[in-house]
Structure 1
């Protein structure tokens, strides 16, 4: 088992191997994203019963919660990729971290925007400076900071290192987001799903939410893979294996 993990680790460090492997995944990831999104949204928006307190306004949960979860997971993934680059100098890890940053920031922005839409009918205001919302806003700023460092420093290696360090420091914000509603008195409702407790949601509400969460993670994986493949094509553009790719040679005249 350990030998298999080590072998996989070294293979993932190969841009050519990663590019060829993920070529087989793209169609299925697109298919799962489309089918899962349609099924989850139809069930959530059309068939799930209205909430007894919030009415139909709760339906924004099917976009808000998956986006918030993926935004946090994306930051953790970016920080771990940065740590791999700092420790083992694996260039693929740096490219993955660079690919994750704008995707994770986009989902964080979606979470904040949909949260504001949800907050207006629920709280009577678009925004409150409570712990959960403020820490999510800090997450967006951390994403922006990492992206700025990745692009502002002329030396590519130095920019990767700076972005990785900020991402690792920013990890402290993730538990703050998760436990903010328990540590402080906030307007934000407690976590909808907990691994240690039985879900309180009606199954007709819960099933679409689970579908949307899984689908959003699939979409996140698809976008990160596509961006990583672009990073590979750019950095390996002078390699013979890249120049012979159909998608590269097809544009030559």
Structure 2
């Protein structure tokens, strides 16, 4: 186990193994998202209360799940970087932040669109919505910190600290519907209880969630590979790799 973690911390090894994994996750993402979208938007029955407006759940819920999960992954990567000085962890955290911010925005926007026909308002300052907005600001803060320092190490440490401190917002988002009064409905399904919706409605949602996570992994692998080449440009193995690609192109 420790040998694998040690290898994972090697930019050269990570660059090689991610090249093999990346196509599989891209393929899984495409298959799952297309299947889930067609099933959820075209074949799942309309909700007895919300009608067809409920179908935005197939974008809103996966985006909200992913927004929270990416921030947790950033915090864990920041901890690994701070404690064990593993550069690949910091590179991964750096490339995760823009996608996390985008997913948070998608969750907020789709939730607002959903709220108009469902609640009669596009926004309300309740606990769930406010804590998700705070998550967006945290993502923007992490991105800003990485560009605010001339020293890359200082920027990485500052961004890692903010991610580790900001992760306390994740359980607030999750349990806000239980702790405070909110218009937001409880979780549609959990791992410990039977889903509140019919199988033909929640199964495509599960497929979409898996598709979004596959997309996240594939994109993170791809962008981390690019970040490795950028940061390790002076290393011999990167120069040999680039020279080899140039020779093949001739």
| TM-score (norm. length: structure 1) | 0.95
Distance, in Å, in 2 between the alignment partners of 1:248 and 1:153 is: 34
Equivalence for 1:24: 20
Tell whether 2:170 aligns with 1:143.
no
Q: 1:50 aligns with which of 46, 56, 62?
A: 46
Equivalence for 2:77: 81
Equivalence for 2:96: 100
| TM-score (norm. length: structure 2) | 0.96
Cα distance, 1:248 vs. partner? 7.0
Cα distance, 1:250 vs. partner? 3.1
What is the total number of aligned residue pairs between the two structures?
249
Distance, in Å, in 2 between the alignment partners of 1:26 and 1:162 is: 29
Q: 1:118 to 1:249 in 2, by over 3 A?
A: same
Q: 2:179 aligns with which of 170, 180, 183?
A: 183
Q: 1:249 aligns with which of 240, 245, 249?
A: 245
Distance, in Å, in 1 between the alignment partners of 2:96 and 2:244 is: 24
Partners of 2:23 and 2:218 within 8 A in 1: no
Cα distance, 1:244 vs. partner? 2.7
Partners of 1:242 and 1:248 within 8 A in 2: no
Distance, in Å, in 1 between the alignment partners of 2:246 and 2:24 is: 24
Partners of 1:13 and 1:93 within 8 A in 2: yes
> Cα deviations across residues 64-104 of structure 1 (Å, max 9, x unaligned)?
00000010000000001001111111111111110111111
Partners of 1:236 and 1:242 within 8 A in 2: yes
Distance, in Å, in 2 between the alignment partners of 1:163 and 1:248 is: 35
Q: 1:248 to 1:216 in 2, by over 3 A?
A: farther
Runs of 4+ in structure 1 deviating by more than 6 angstroms, as ranges, are none
Distance, in Å, in 2 between the alignment partners of 1:8 and 1:242 is: 22
Distance, in Å, in 2 between the alignment partners of 1:246 and 1:43 is: 43
Equivalence for 2:152: 156
Cα distance, 1:242 vs. partner? 1.5
Distance, in Å, in 2 between the alignment partners of 1:170 and 1:197 is: 29
**Helix, strand or coil for the counterpart of 1:24?**
helix
**Helix, strand or coil for the counterpart of 2:77?**
helix
Cα distance, 1:249 vs. partner? 2.9
RMSD of aligned residue pairs (Cα, Å):
1.4
Gaps of 5+ in 2: none
Cα distance, 1:246 vs. partner? 6.0
Gaps of 5+ in 1: none
Distance, in Å, in 1 between the alignment partners of 2:23 and 2:165 is: 36
Q: 1:68 to 1:250 in 2, by over 3 A?
A: same
Tell whether 2:2 aligns with 1:6.
yes
Equivalence for 2:62: 66
